[in-house]
Amino acid sequence: MGSEPGGCALRPFSCELGLLSRPDGSAAFLQGDTSVLAGLYGPAEVKVSRELYDQATLEVLLKPKVGLPGVFEKNREQLIRKTCEAVILGTLHPRTSITIVLQVISDAGSLLACCLNAACMGLMDAGLPMKCLFCGVTCAVDAAGTVSLDPTARQEKEARAVLTFAISSVEQCVIMSSTRGTCSVEELQQCIAAAQRAASTIFRFYRACMCRKYSKT
């Protein structure tokens, strides 16, 4: 469970590692009532047409709860892929393929952030080398300019702007951002600061999850 100082709170979250037997790593990440299951495959063989001689080829597949992926999912796949490419040490596995499959179990708000968190935990469970960890944090700005962390679907719908950040564990740098709606520069800065503070809570949770995993082995 995570909480954020200053009146902004993260919904309770939990994670279970290694749920799936076929992937090389897997994680089920839950934030409030939003849940995503991540499966990671690789490094594995890659088609010659997609082979990169100096690094691994990374693919992200986002599957909605029902139906087939559409434009919405494809856009988010790119955001998640760019985030993962920024931290995975792909040069250690040239001419291979790494695939991250994200299955939405339930979407009750802050879905992109939950996908990012599930992806990072899946990478950790697979033991893939990374420069650093990353986490996703979503903020919503309402009509009065109030910033809410980890908004629900209703809060997102009522918000004037919804911003999601991928935060690095190194100096809490922003390595990806996605914005819907409009906000001022000052509100943007407030959201970034709130996301960076919340990231500290999430990274502590990551460490606790990995400690539990390895204490059982």
Better-predicted residue by pLDDT, 8 or 129: 129
CATH superfamily of 13-215: GHMP Kinase, N-terminal domain (3.30.230.70)
Confidence band of 217 (pLDDT split at 50, 70, 90): low
Instruction: Report the chain's mean pLDDT, rounded to a whole number.
Output: 90
1-16 pLDDT tens trace: 443 333 358 999 999 9
Tell me the pairing of strands 57-63 and 97-106: parallel
Omega of the bond leading into 23 within 30 degrees of 0 (cis): no
Q: What is the pTM of this model?
A: 0.90
Query: Is residue 135 within 8 Å of residue 117, measured between CB atoms?
Result: yes
Nearest to 4 by CA among 164, 116, 151, 178: 151
Return the amino acid letter for 213.
K
pLDDT of residue 67: 85
Distance CA 27, CA 186 (A): 36
Residue range 35-52: mean pLDDT, rounded: 87
Q: What is the pLDDT of residue 176?
A: 95
Reference 107, options 29, 175, 20; nearest CA is: 29
Contact 86, 176 (CB under 8 A): yes
Pick from 7-16, 17-26, 37-46, 169-178: least confident: 7-16
- Contacts within 8 Å (CB) and 24+ apart, 61-67: 61/99, 61/100, 61/101, 61/102, 62/102, 62/104, 62/115, 63/101, 63/102, 63/103, 63/104, 64/104, 65/104, 65/105, 65/106, 65/107
Q: Residue 199: how many CA atoms within 13 Å on its side-chain side?
A: 27
Question: How much is the pLDDT for 111?
Answer: 96
Given a cut of 50, whether residue 147 has pLDDT beyond it is: yes
**Domain range summary for the chain, segments of one domain joined by +:** 13-215
